[in-house]
Amino acid sequence: MTPFARKRLTRIALNAAGLLVFLFAVFPVYWMVSTAFKANDQIFTTDFIPFPTHFTVEHVDRVLSEGVAGNSIWLYMRNSAIVALGTVLIGAALALLAATAIARFTFRGRTSFLILLLIVQMIPSEALLIPLFLNVKRLGLYDQLLGLIVINVGLTLPFGIWMLRTFVAAVPRSLEEAAWIDGASRMTTFWRVLFPLVAPGLVATSIFSFITAWNELIFALILMSDSSGYTMPVALQFFFGQRGTDWGAIMAGSTMMTIPVVAFFLVVQRRMVSGLVAGAVKG
């Protein structure tokens, strides 16, 4: 076999493997969306029906019109959006400041702090449920969306600091020193030089924080006693009953729940590209 043929065969094998991974990752999403538009007789059958032969919107209409637990589904979507966006904004700001301090300054205990971040990230959230619940009660944040935001910020902050620390450390100090020589203040240097260059990392951490807060279930269930404060993952649990499971409504609600995540990713992905270009120009 010639080197050209071997190289072509390797490329075909890699493309085939990538295609299989893509199909494996996308199929559950496709099955969720297709099931949301299938009739009940096609959902509760042992036959494999890849496409809805009788397209119906009854499940989506029922979720939108009847709501969940006496509330409109849009209320739960709004609660999830408030928690997720609040987590992204607060978590991104704190992670960026902490990552800049760790990457740019030398202080006692810096290595220990980084190791502690890894240890905290490895602790399962279920192990933190009771102490966090007690602290939220003491702070008067029980049954409030702000309490969920604080919890989610704490859960996503270690990953955000680790991610942004790498981006900040990769920015040459000479760029900041050149800005100082030109008369820029530290704040101006931070916003005009450092921030555009670390914007792609900030977008990556924002996506992680948004998805984590949007899909979080346990704390949203435990820290909320009033159904009007539930988020979408908690609302979907009401479709699981003792006498049966309304899979059509679950898939319809899950499809609706996925749309904001995809929209958020598309918006920030564009910002990530613009951040890369702006950082390259300023550099």
Q: How many CB atoms lie within 10 A of CB 150?
A: 20
74 three-class SS: helix
Residue 213 confidence (pLDDT): 92
> pLDDT, tens digit, for every residue of 114-125?
888 888 778 888
> Does the structure show a pLDDT above 70 at 265?
yes
> pLDDT, tens digit, for every residue of 209-220?
999 999 998 999
User: Could you tell me which residues come within 8 angstroms of residue 94 by beta carbon, excluding any fewer than 6 positions away?
Assistant: 153, 157, 160
- Between 275 and 218, residue with greater pLDDT: 218
> In sequence order, what DSSP letters do the residues of 115-150 get, joined into one string?
HHHHHHHHS-GGGGHHHHHHHHHHTT-TTSHHHHHH
Identify the bridge partners of residue 205 per DSSP, sorted by sequence position. none
The mean of the pLDDT values for the chain is 84
Tell me how far the alpha carbon of residue 283 is from its chain's centroid.
Answer: 30
> pLDDT, tens digit, for every residue of 61-70?
888 888 787 8
Report the percentage of the chain scoring pLDDT > 90.
19
Residue 122 confidence (pLDDT): 82
CA-to-CA distance for 36 and 137, rounded, in angstroms?
Answer: 39
Residue 2 confidence (pLDDT): 78
Report the percentage of the chain scoring pLDDT > 70.
94
> pLDDT, tens digit, for every residue of 2-12?
777 788 888 89
Position 106 confidence tier, pLDDT thresholds 50, 70, 90: confident
Position 149 confidence tier, pLDDT thresholds 50, 70, 90: very high
- Between 243 and 189, residue with greater pLDDT: 189
Mean pLDDT of 131-143: 90
Tell me how far the alpha carbon of residue 77 is from its chain's centroid.
Answer: 15
245 three-class SS: strand
Position 81 confidence tier, pLDDT thresholds 50, 70, 90: very high
